[in-house]
Structure 1
Amino acid sequence: MSAPSVAELRAVAQPQTTMDRRSGEHWAGLLYMRRLSIYATWLLAKTPISPNQVTGLMIVCGVGAGAVLALPGFWAALGAALLIQIYLLLDCSDGELARWTGRTSITGVYLDRVGHYFAEAALLIGLGFRASETLPDWYTVIGVAAALGAILIKSETDLVDVARARSGLLATTEAAAQQFTSPRLALARRAAAVLRFHRVIQAVELSLIVVVAALLDNWFSATRILMVACVVIAGVQLLLHLVSILASRRLS
């Protein structure tokens, strides 16, 4: 396939249905990364690389960010944050390249989900190592615990569609996620959505927070405080997310 112009590529790779969606798109993608990713996709379209290989590079960057974060010092924190930005860029570009080349696949969707699992878990484990004075210590343990919590939270979401598929139903909709059997639970869900405290343990947000924590470490143990906050948030969110799913219309 000949190299397209950026305008031609954008028309196919960034359709309005993609640019208008809110629930399936990260805020950073909507704010700035989609503006940049189309140029990365334009470059990738000139190469023989496949969309799934781009997703593989995304996974490497996500896991690599966790490994870099485990190292001491401010520059390691900054390096991890930069790797997560590349991870986000590739996360946008793999789908854009797939749409342009017509090589969308279930394998690509699966690898994309695996990449998100790996990146968030790796970053939390890396934070645990970073907070530790000796290896292993309790900060190492709670880093792994927070990573497990982040994985289980994602699993709770994905298992909704697994349960529906095994019951012969179609995948759930965003509208169903907003419908609750109890008005009080609906109010609590809206309050949690406004506070967005759960984003602290997500890869993009966490990678930025750890840079701030690395700077504050000059005055107090900010990284350790962040690690404790992450494991608490992961535990609370794990429970609340499960209750939210069971109380919504997603399983009906």
Structure 2
Amino acid sequence: MVAAPALAELREVCQPQAKLQSRNGEHWAGRMYMRAISLRTTRQLVRTRVSPNTLTWVMVVCGVGGGAALLIPGPTGAVLAAVLFQLFLLFDCVDGEVARWKRQFSMAGVYVDRLGAYLADAALMIGAGVRAARGGSELWVSAGLAAALGVVLLKASTDLVDVARARSGQPPANEESTQPRSQGIATARRFASIFKIHRVTNGIEASLVLLAAAAVDAGLHNLDATRWTLAGITVITWGMVVAHLASILSSSRLR
């Protein structure tokens, strides 16, 4: 078997600083701890014949599986969901790192990566809705579906900026162009950034919040914490949908 590359050499090729320092291009958990784990995983995977696209599909399975795990009653389901979303994050890092080392890039890989992000977050919200409805009102399923639609719209509104720019013959938007020109929207954006409430619209963070809710439920012997958590996530998500749309339209991204 081919010898594993040195970590320093691997880091230089697979974890370019421009990407790691990008506010929109790198998840905070990636910078905090997952990139250290992923690099060691990548070090072993580059010695195999596994392709980056295969790893991306593994990421998708982990994310969708995380949503399905919430159907398992009690804390077990919530623990499994949180673990699977950590694996989702791991493989989201690893697939790109392996692609950079092996120089195996494809549009199909980018497409499946984005599709996986949509499916994973939506699956988690739907799973939370079904979980919350157990022994209660079926309206909680609707709340989960509403949250799933909201997170999909949030991601789509960002991706559609690139679609609009590409069809207009413009290059991808840079981070400077994302700054809103409206002072009111800029202030609201800074407020959201301080309190980080927007993070619960992401499946990785939401799975941890739902895990905490499941722990409370176990102590109270009901699902009230999960239900209130889902209600809060749904409200925040739709608030973010409106705010994000306003931020896009008030920035220079579409001009």
Common fold, TM-score beyond 0.5?
Answer: yes
- List runs of 5+ in structure 1 lacking aligned partners: none
Distance across 2 between alignment mates of 1:7 and 1:174 = 28
Q: Distance in 1 between matches of 2:225 and 2:179?
A: 36
Q: Deviations over 1:216-240 (max 9, x none)?
A: 1122610000111111112111111
Query: Is 1:241 matched up with 2:244?
Result: yes
CA deviations 1:19-73 (Å, max 9, x no partner) are 3323211010000000100011111112111001000000000000000112210
| Corresponding residue number in structure 1 for 2:62 | 61
Cα distance between partner residues in 1 of 2:9 and 2:97: 12
CA contact (8 A) 2:180 2:247 kept: no
1 CA distance for matches of 2:71 and 2:248? 34
8 Å CA contact 1:70–1:128 kept in 2: the answer is no
**Conserved 8 A contact 1:198-1:237:** yes
Once residues 15 and 245 of structure 1 are traced to their aligned partners in structure 2, the CA distance between those partners, rounded to angstroms, is 27
1:133 CA displacement = 2.2
2:74 counterpart residue number: 73
Partner of 1:49: 50
Question: How far apart are the structure 1 equivalents of 2:162 and 2:24?
Answer: 16
Whole-Å separation in 2 of the counterparts to 1:8 and 1:188: 42
Once the 2 structures are TM-superposed, how far is the Cα of residue 135 of structure 1 from its aligned partner?
A: 8.8
Letter in 1 for 2:191: A
Between the two proteins, the alignment pairs up a number of residues equal to: 251
> TM-score when scaled to structure 1?
0.95
2:180, 2:148 → 1: CA distance? 29
Amino acid at match of 2:10: L
If the length of structure 2 is used for normalisation, what is the TM-score?
A: 0.94
8 Å CA contact 1:125–1:147 kept in 2: the answer is: yes
Rounded Cα–Cα distance in structure 2 between residues aligned with 1:44 and 1:204: 24
Mapped to 1, the partners of 2:178 and 2:18 lie a distance apart of: 20
1:167 deviates by 1.2
User: Is 1:202 equivalent to 2:205 in the alignment?
Assistant: no
Q: What is the CA-CA distance between 1:175 and the residue it aligns to?
A: 0.5
Structure 1 range deviating more: 195-204 or 50-59: 195-204
Q: Deviations over 1:157-205 (max 9, x none)?
A: 111111111111111111110141x222222222222222121121111
3-state SS of paired residue (1:212): helix
Task: Deviation per CA, 1:74-94: give whole Å up to 9, x if none.
Answer: 011001100111110000000
Q: Are residue 125 (structure 1) and residue 126 (structure 2) matched?
A: yes
Distance in 1, Cα, partners of 2:149 & 2:158: 15
Q: Secondary structure at the match of 2:72?
A: coil
Equivalent residues in 2 for 1:156-235, closer than 5 Å: 156-180=157-181, 182-217=182-217, 218-219=219-220, 221-235=224-238
Amino acid at match of 2:12: A
Q: Amino acid of the residue matched to residue 185 of structure 1?
A: I
Contact 2:30 2:93 in 1 (8 A): yes
The one-letter code of the counterpart of 1:178 is Q
Which deviates the most, 84-93 or 212-221? 212-221
- Identify which range, 187-196 or 207-216, moves more after superposition: 187-196
Deviation at 1:134, TM superposition (A): 5.0
Runs of 4+ in structure 1 over 4 Å off = none
User: CA offset at residue 136 of structure 1?
Assistant: 7.8
Separation (CA, whole Å) in 1 of partners of 2:159 and 2:138: 32
